[in-house]
Amino acid sequence: MPANWAHSQSTDTNTSLWQKFTAFADSQQERKTMWFFLALVVQGIFFLPLPVALVYYYDAPALPVLLVTMTCFFSTIIAYMGGAGIRAVLLMSAISILIQVIMSVVVIIL
C-alpha cells in the first residue's frame, strides 16, 4: 500500500443538484454586478415585452399576466439592489424566469 493513500482525500462524486448550485453561486460572488446587469438585460428584453405579446396574439387576460411579469421583474431587481446574497439572487432570477416561461406556455396552450 503506497504511503500517500492514507492521506489522500476521497472525492465525493455523488453531489446533489443543490450542492452544485451552491458551489457555482459561491464561485460567482465577485461577479455579482455582472449577474445584476445580465438579469436586467434578459428580463428587460425578453420578459417585460411578454405581456404585450401574450395579450395581443393569444388573448391572454391582461391583468394577471402583467402582475406576474412585474412581480417577477421587480422582486429580482429589488433583491439585487437590496444586497441579498449571491445564492439568493441567482436562485430568484432562475425562479423568476421559470415562472414566466411556465406562464407563457400555459397561456399559449390554453
What are the cell numbers at 78? Answer: 429589488
pLDDT digits 0-9 by tens, 59-84: 999 999 999 999 999 999 999 999 99
53 grid coordinates? 405579446
pTM: 0.82
Task: Name, in order, each residue with C-beta under 8 angstroms of 66's C-beta and a sequence gap of 6 or more.
Answer: 51
Residue 2 reports pLDDT greater than 60: no
Q: Where are the domains of the chain?
A: 42-110
